[in-house]
Amino acid sequence: MDAIVALAKRRGFIFPSSEIYGGLNGFFDYGPLGAELKKNIRDCWWNDLVRRRDDIVGVETSIIMHPKVWEASGHVAGFTDPLVDCKVTKQRFRADQLFFAEVVVDGKTVGHVSAVESDDTARDLQEMAEYFKRKKAIQGTLAPVVAREFTTAKPEEVPLIPSPVTGNPGDLTEARAFNMMFQTNVGAMTDASSVAYLRPETAQGMFVDFKSVVDTGRVKLPFGIAQIGRSFRNEITPRNFIFRSREFEQMEMEYFIHEEADWAKCHQEWIEWCRQWLLSIGLPESHLSLYAHPKEKLAFYSKGTVDIMFKYPFGVQELWGIAARGDYDLKQHATCSGKPQEIFDEATKRKFVPHVIEPAVGVDRILLAALCAGYAEDEAPDEKGKLEKRIVLRLSPRIAPVKVAVLPLLKNKELLTARARELYRKLQRRYAVFYDEAGAIGRRYRRQDEIGTPWCVTIDFETIEKDGSFTLRDRDTMAQRRIHEPELFALLEEKVY
């Protein structure tokens, strides 16, 4: 992760937000290359899902909606994480990410240890228990620790559990529900009547606009409404770089189906569509897996949720959730607004509330997955043929921020630079391209490798003096071959879509 974060900063993909003021935890800025990469991910999703399908339409709904939307959706009452405070340091923890264990020596509990969730929390707790026993000079045999989530602590156990920051028992509060929605006020008054929320998900926009789309969009079941936009969650512990942040971007789609349709089949089809789409933007199959939420952990209305998981350097984590939500959301909005959210069935001549399958993914999480899977270090020959370390970002041409770098072999030969600039301008009409004439050619290749540019073309004397062909260098194999301009455009047409 350190190498990826360093590369992201060094090459202008991602910076901490408001860095000159020390940054703001959980907020990030995308630099020139990051903004391109992010836009490419969004465009691929929108093109594949909205433009290239006849059954899905797109919307853009507002970030601040009527507060009743969030009452109806259940977010005001239930969009909470369990929160624990350290009373001394004022640090806050998510109770489901805080673990503790009894220290048991010769069958007797002699104390407690605690740790924040890590790659191997049980190991951390075991080491802490051993240290505890040594420090207190307790004789006897230490039993293997049994890690428990703080959420399972009984009230009488809480004062015995040490704070992971101070190490002292009694410093932690009991867990309480913390609502993650950011509040604001609309208008000049700042009283309870003006309270509104920044949306914690884009999904509700699609539910609330359902009737408007049906009445104006000439859509027929089954059909989907998709949206890309910012969401905001006051996460207690934003972490793992952009994986869990407080302001992020979601790409969500609500796929409405007949109440009697085979939802399980449809759910399965969407899981597979999402998986295939991730492969199409270059995420390796070896890093993807599926996780079906256990029935007992599902919300009462949910028929099933499957997450596509990704193997990040910090562990296998949720990338894309695909939920079968039944008719819960539309029915809630019908009840709370008093406006029916039904559709007319021509076959049976009656109205009903459609059911929904919802694939919901974060753009930032996809971007991070692409950086993590694409980052590699190998070796390449320098100017003198000596092998040196090369950092390469193996991004799919579909999402790479720069598709082609155009390089004249020499900077001071007008014939070469003029032809290179001409090709650069022509490519620029359709693609994000880069012109670079500074430095040795090997160094210029290396710069492009590091930002994930799939191809470099080099304009040399053969281009000018012979048949107009130029060198095409492949980022991943470093192989070079001569091609002509039409072949370059054909290659881009095939790979960048």
Q: What's the CA gap between 149 and 161, in Å, rounded?
A: 12
Q: What's the CA gap between 265 and 312, in Å, rounded?
A: 29
CB 123 within 8 A of CB 137: no
Give the DSSP letter string of 71-100: HHTTHHHH-EEEEEEBTTT--EEEGGGEEE
Quick check: 458 binds ligand GAP (CB under 6 A)? Answer: no
- Contact residue for ligand GAP among 130, 149, 157, 318 (CB under 6 A): 318
Quick check: 121 binds ligand GAP (CB under 6 A)? Answer: no
Quick check: 102 binds ligand GAP (CB under 6 A)? Answer: no
| Residues linked to residue 376 through DSSP beta bridges, in sequence order | 392
- The gap from C-alpha 376 to its chain's centroid, in whole angstroms, comes to 20
Structure tokens, 322: 């695909």
Helix (H) or strand (E) holding 111: strand 108-116
Quick check: 362 binds ligand GAP (CB under 6 A)? Answer: yes
Q: What's the CA gap between 184 and 472, in Å, rounded?
A: 53
Q: Which is nearer to ligand GAP, 114 or 202 (CB)?
A: 202
Q: What's the CA gap between 110 and 138, in Å, rounded?
A: 9
Quick check: 364 binds ligand GAP (CB under 6 A)? Answer: yes
Span of 77-85, 312-320, 343-351, 442-450 interacting with ligand GAP by CB under 6 A: 312-320
Within 36-65, the residues that bind ligand GAP by CB under 6 A are none
Query: Which of 41, 32, 72, 98 has the alpha carbon at shortest distance from 361?
Result: 41
Structure tokens, 217: 């969009």
Quick check: 448 binds ligand GAP (CB under 6 A)? Answer: no
- Contact residue for ligand GAP among 50, 203, 221, 356 (CB under 6 A): 203
- Contact residue for ligand GAP among 48, 102, 124, 201 (CB under 6 A): 201
Helix (H) or strand (E) holding 14: strand 14-16
Q: Which is nearer to ligand GAP, 319 or 459 (CB)?
A: 319
Quick check: 205 binds ligand GAP (CB under 6 A)? Answer: no
Q: What's the CA gap between 228 and 43, in Å, rounded?
A: 10
Quick check: 357 binds ligand GAP (CB under 6 A)? Answer: no
- Contact residue for ligand GAP among 252, 327, 436, 460 (CB under 6 A): 252
Amino acid at 381: P
Quick check: 210 binds ligand GAP (CB under 6 A)? Answer: no
Span of 116-124, 290-298, 315-323, 453-461 interacting with ligand GAP by CB under 6 A: 315-323
Q: Which is nearer to ligand GAP, 252 or 460 (CB)?
A: 252
Q: What's the CA gap between 478 and 417, in Å, rounded?
A: 23
* Cβ at position 225, least distance to ligand GAP in Å: 13
* Cβ at position 365, least distance to ligand GAP in Å: 4
- Contact residue for ligand GAP among 278, 360, 367, 404 (CB under 6 A): 360
Q: Which is nearer to ligand GAP, 210 or 455 (CB)?
A: 210
Q: Which is nearer to ligand GAP, 163 or 341 (CB)?
A: 341
Extended strands (E) in 355-441: 355-362, 375-381, 387-393, 404-408, 433-435
Q: Which is nearer to ligand GAP, 282 or 321 (CB)?
A: 321
* Cβ at position 402, least distance to ligand GAP in Å: 25
* Cβ at position 309, least distance to ligand GAP in Å: 10
Q: What's the CA gap between 434 and 386, in Å, rounded?
A: 27
Amino acid at 101: A
- Contact residue for ligand GAP among 40, 61, 237, 245 (CB under 6 A): 245
Q: What are the backbone angles phi and psi of residue 111, rounded to the nearest 5°?
A: 170, -175
- The gap from C-alpha 47 to its chain's centroid, in whole angstroms, comes to 19
* Cβ at position 2, least distance to ligand GAP in Å: 20
CB 50 within 8 A of CB 56: yes
Q: Which is nearer to ligand GAP, 360 or 459 (CB)?
A: 360
* Cβ at position 215, least distance to ligand GAP in Å: 24
Q: Is the peptide bond before 222 cis (omega within 30 degrees of 0)?
A: yes
Which residues here bind ligand GAP, judged by CB under 6 A? 201, 203, 233, 235, 244-245, 248, 250, 252, 318-321, 358, 360-362, 364-365
